[in-house]
Structure 1
């Protein structure tokens, strides 16, 4: 006798089939069981889904091909997390479920899975209760108070707490102690970090503290075999601690007892392709659903999180002082308007700043110079005919990389050798405009030296210099060992790193975000500068002479006034007032419909047609649909990109509207078959981070 079951499979988006499909099975299968089923002419991996299949007695269902019975079923709580993600972010259940599972699982049959699990059990280190525990540092009064409050909340129904602590205040120690309490209760702990390059560093901290405990990491930098091994360890309950990036929020953990989201404000927690989920928001949902406390940590919380804490929906825990009583770095603003100009061009580094860095080198201290632009220069320019190194496939400039003499587009990857002369007029004198980290490194090397007259040791950390495996770890090791005098880098070096010898941080060109059309740009800039400032003076003995220098053309801007006082609350309050007056998050809820096409007319036409359909839907009066506009970089890889904003004062009304709108969008794309009307792809982004 056969039974009907629901199976979540990854279906093509154009089909509009987002719900689990019905199949026939020779036996009952527990929800969460992995299976192989036919889909069209292919055989695909699926997950048996909770719920009753549709009653369609006259329909002949396809049978399940194979069952991965060796793998214990995924927990029901995991299925509920995936289902919520798919519904909220308007994606298919199967698409979300299969995208967050290790890809290697799709390639294995039941026997191979059984062998992997058996091998994992054989080689997995057993917990050693007799292992020597490292000596833990004493807690500050604020850390003790935060942990006591968190322990009290554990008895409540899945609380969410915001740990608001200045840089260097010991937030990581609070994470460690909270995880210690969870493990002592026989639970597992999940710790999320925003960047891959922070995962090994945090993993080392946890491994040092939790001797004899099993710790695994989950992030996109792992090989497929490593990712499957670590995922299985978490799913089988062998791993006590799981550390990872946003993908790890979906780790299957049967004994989940704590979720930590470090640097919760970081934009990296928002997925930008496929199902555009926010790992931070899903962590909060998962904690409530599974009864696990959630700890959100940041020195500069997102305004959404700050607003919820002010409303009392989150508990606020404060760490207002640095460990050891060290002072926060003094912020000094350099007014670029007062600097002398040579042939109309202002020097890259203010002489007082160069002198301050030179002074640090003489004292054997380190400096960090931050410029959030890689490459040598943003553009090459011909002074005779005004030619610039634009990308032929994108509405963006190709960046000049001097080291390999290339012009490289950072959007589509198109790369060419630097021309010997201007392609338009043949002028041999083409010159770089602006500067990136590569050029800044070169300029600093020509200006700085050690007391004995030798060249200063300068290192650069950005996406170009750390492309090869192991280079990032090697460069960070050199900084920690004191083998570097000046570290030049992008935002990769401004967050999470505990550089004990750095006493000066300089932000070279931060003004570009002050007047951006994106309403979140000031918030991101303030957080980035606060995080960068936090790299200085982390050693209490050097804190009194630590400084942050900011080169700016707008020294009287309110953002810099709040930065000088390290006053996040004042900045957040001013931003909240502006957003409330403008009807922006957290006082409103947004979704973005984006369309890509070969022509601007096709993309705009699709969005305008979608707006017309939207106006006829029930509940359309509860949302505002704005006219289509191009993205900041409108063309990428010869594809035109347009977007249309949808706004509502009610999250429920917005979700109800989107659920009715999505099926019409699938139909609309199928109707527009003419070449001049066709869109290549479209997607809805709920709670978009960039506008």
Structure 2
């Protein structure tokens, strides 16, 4: 049934006449509890249920939305993320536009404008394309586009198709641009767009019109015929995590699809995720990286200095006076944070939700609910502000530097690093822009980033620092990276200095295991009845954290992979009897 409810997550049997022309993957209309609802044909039934069988009323679409191999992947996603199969199927393709299904010669989606980035052919390690094998590849700075293009070319020479997954579409990442230009008419940019165009492109992919699909996270399900390669660019980027049910992570689904469809999967990044490091350790993911001599020769020169007030330092000021290009990365936006109400003297807090009040573009607003900044105690809008953030840094840098300063804003066209400018931005300003060479890259407040709450905060911070640091080029080229920190010996800072993330990420894996959330364990946020914690422990969860919610109980649980199938069955049973009302997989902790 196309009914996204866990309580109904099971197959139902109907009679389907052969002359209706439907089969596995067809969208049909069926009677269900006195109504006509949509359903998906999953295949022939293996057992005849008792009672009278009802007939399929009609076939809603001539399109076969999935075949048996894709159904295996969709079922894996449903099981791994404890989501209704109907929800997974609906998320595996764009919303249907019936008029496009009847088009006999629909034009291809408009071309994406990309710079000239033709990659130089490079030899590809044979095991990168081994069917069913996943590999973490660490490219040299500026070389992911060439590496990806070479792997895709080798895949096409074997007569198979490829999917290249990037975490964001605006601007088009350099790796995506390189692939799209290199393979021209054989490739397509499946990157956003209005619904009709997006669905038309998906139908063309299904029909086999393209051998190479460059796409964002929904494209991990793209129906590329005879798939041979899935390339995941910047695998740690938060854009690879789906924020709607079934809440999947692209890297994990890509590895599963490679295994199920006998394709190769490459997870590409300067610093892998902790989960990938754990898989490298247990042998389920291979490792491909240059030797340490080559890595160090191509690594940036990193120095540390203690920070001073307002996210700056004397060393940073001296460097800015002498450089012609720079990128300054700050962990917070705006001009500063309100600390005290000037009217009543109480600590500043939002009147609506008691969250922190930040100042952006001269206007105080709540950093949590975005309400107008008013004191929770007296309603005043006058605050004493601790200055610091992108706007304040940009204001200061404009006075110190001899070149124009560009602020990477929250909205509008993203600013890019380049010669003759100083770019100021947060982690969101760090994008795949290709082989940029800057005189200076400064990480202004890594200590604040490391203090942020969240299981994945540190690994994402390190990945961002390394991507930004690569803009300064190799140490022999004259560029440098400045890290303003009071914790120069912190393992994450040392990972950046040494240009080697694995020792730190292995220690993070140990830390998570000790905290009860080991890498590879399924993590779920589940809400339900007051006795839910005991029910989830009995179902197989090894870690259960609970709190009282507005309606019932909210639990955060971790489940070992070997217990996941049984845990899912029990959660479905609990959903059917009303003890569970919502499941969110892999929440952003």
Query: What's the TM-score, normalizing by structure 2?
Result: 0.88
Q: Residues 330-369 of structure 1 correspond to what in structure 2 (within 5 A)?
A: 330-336=301-307, 339=308, 346-360=309-323, 365-369=324-328
Match of 1:172 in 2: 145
* Kept in 1: contact 2:30–2:37 (CA 8 A): yes
Secondary structure of 2:137's counterpart equals strand
Secondary structure of 1:162's counterpart equals strand
- Going from structure 1 to structure 2, the CA distance change for 1:549 and 1:269 (only over 3 Å counts) comes to same
Question: Following TM superposition, by how much is the alpha carbon of 1:198 offset from its aligned partner in structure 2, in angstroms?
Answer: 5.5
Q: Does 1:653 align with 2:563?
A: yes
- Unaligned stretches of 5+ residues in structure 2: 111-115
Q: Residues 11-30 of structure 1 correspond to what in structure 2 (within 5 A)?
A: 11-12=4-5, 16-27=7-18, 29-30=22-23
Question: Following TM superposition, by how much is the alpha carbon of 1:647 offset from its aligned partner in structure 2, in angstroms?
Answer: 3.3
Structure possessing the higher relative contact order (Cα contacts under 8 Å, 6 or more residues apart): 2
Match of 1:492 in 2: 428
Match of 2:51 in 1: 58
Q: Does 1:465 align with 2:451?
A: no
Q: Does 1:626 align with 2:544?
A: yes
Secondary structure of 1:210's counterpart equals helix
String of CA shifts for 1:58-114, please: whole Å, max 9, x gaps: 346364334312x245222111111111122111111110122211x1x52xxx344
Work out the CA distance in 1 between the residues paired with 2:147 and 2:304: 33
Match of 1:4 in 2: none
Match of 2:113 in 1: none
Work out the CA distance in 2 between the residues paired with 1:61 and 1:427: 67
Q: Does 1:668 align with 2:578?
A: yes
Q: Residues 277-296 of structure 1 correspond to what in structure 2 (within 5 A)?
A: 277-296=248-267
Secondary structure of 2:577's counterpart equals helix
- Going from structure 1 to structure 2, the CA distance change for 1:428 and 1:231 (only over 3 Å counts) comes to closer
Match of 2:24 in 1: 31
Q: Does 1:558 align with 2:491?
A: yes
When the two chains are superposed, the root-mean-square deviation of aligned CA atoms in Å is 3.4
Work out the CA distance in 2 between the residues paired with 1:53 and 1:285: 26
Match of 1:441 in 2: 394
- Unaligned stretches of 5+ residues in structure 1: 1-7, 126-132, 340-345, 451-455, 596-605, 671-680
Q: Residues 72-221 of structure 1 correspond to what in structure 2 (within 5 A)?
A: 72=64, 74-103=66-95, 105=96, 107-108=97-98, 112-116=99-103, 118-120=104-106, 136-137=119-120, 139=122, 144=123, 147-150=124-127, 154=130, 157-168=131-142, 170-197=143-170, 199-218=172-191, 221=192
Question: Following TM superposition, by how much is the alpha carbon of 1:439 offset from its aligned partner in structure 2, in angstroms?
Answer: 2.9
Secondary structure of 1:488's counterpart equals strand
Secondary structure of 2:152's counterpart equals helix
Q: Does 1:610 align with 2:532?
A: yes
- Going from structure 1 to structure 2, the CA distance change for 1:11 and 1:626 (only over 3 Å counts) comes to closer
* Kept in 1: contact 2:25–2:66 (CA 8 A): yes
* Kept in 2: contact 1:437–1:488 (CA 8 A): yes
Question: Following TM superposition, by how much is the alpha carbon of 1:258 offset from its aligned partner in structure 2, in angstroms?
Answer: 1.0
Work out the CA distance in 1 between the residues paired with 2:189 and 2:237: 22
Q: Residues 410-559 of structure 1 correspond to what in structure 2 (within 5 A)?
A: 411-412=368-369, 414-416=370-372, 424-425=377-378, 429-445=382-398, 447-450=399-402, 456-462=403-409, 464-466=410-412, 471-472=413-414, 475-476=415-416, 479-480=417-418, 482=419, 485-498=421-434, 500-516=436-452, 518-537=454-473, 543-559=476-492
Work out the CA distance in 2 between the residues paired with 1:123 and 1:211: 12
* Kept in 1: contact 2:23–2:64 (CA 8 A): no
Name whichever of 639-648 and 293-302 sits farther off: 639-648
Work out the CA distance in 2 between the residues paired with 1:554 and 1:526: 14
* Kept in 1: contact 2:236–2:269 (CA 8 A): yes
String of CA shifts for 1:243-281, please: whole Å, max 9, x gaps: 112111111122212111112223332223311212111
* Kept in 1: contact 2:82–2:583 (CA 8 A): no
* Kept in 1: contact 2:341–2:348 (CA 8 A): no
Secondary structure of 1:534's counterpart equals helix
Work out the CA distance in 2 between the residues paired with 1:651 and 1:52: 29
Work out the CA distance in 1 between the residues paired with 2:247 and 2:66: 23
Secondary structure of 2:186's counterpart equals coil
Secondary structure of 1:9's counterpart equals coil
Secondary structure of 2:328's counterpart equals strand
Q: Does 1:572 align with 2:555?
A: no
Match of 1:129 in 2: none
Q: Does 1:229 align with 2:200?
A: yes
* Kept in 1: contact 2:278–2:506 (CA 8 A): no
